[in-house]
Amino acid sequence: MTILKIIPPANPVLRQKAKKVKALTPKIQTLIDNMFETMYDSYGVGLAAPQVAQPLRMFVAYLAEDPLVEDGIEAEPAPGIGQELVMINPEIIHNSDVMALGNEGCLSIPGYQGTVERPDGITIKYLDRKGNKQRLTTHGWMARVLQHEYDHLDGVLFIDKALEIWELGAEDEDDLEDDA
């Protein structure tokens, strides 16, 4: 597998609307594998194809544990936690009315975080890496990660939605594990 270059906001691919994936070719399968490898190597929890200069409507995500369960806020992990997710041509078909604030970072904007308000729950439909139609209803941090990655497919970055943005100090970057 190959570690791909994550592009910064100055690259126009990151700001354009991505195109639908038309066929699940061996090239797409290799891209998925390389995106996971790149995401893990960068200590991220999600990575969209536009972030690696591929203007395609797909992303990968993996959130090993639910921070809301660890903090005692939720009793059980949200659906999708602990699963390697591949979402091809995703579409968010429902947003909850409940909104939640959370801090986000981005592998394309290292060294910065911001507070973003998003729906606390979503339902998203997509194709998995085998081309099977899937639907996931989730909430909390899992929903946040998926919405963050979904935004990349429309050329939207967390800094566009952030209520405030700040630069991380060296000690903060060592603890940062929730970049998407």
- Catalytic residue list: 149
DSSP string over the chain: --PPPPPPTTSGGGGSPPBPP----HHHHHHHHHHHHHHHHTTBSEEEGGGGT--BSEEEE---S-HHHHTTS-SSPPTTTTS-EEEEEEEEEEE-S-EEEEEEE-TTSTTEEEEEEEESEEEEEEE-TTS-EEEEEEEHHHHHHHHHHHHHTTT--HHHH-SEEEEPPHHHHHH---B-
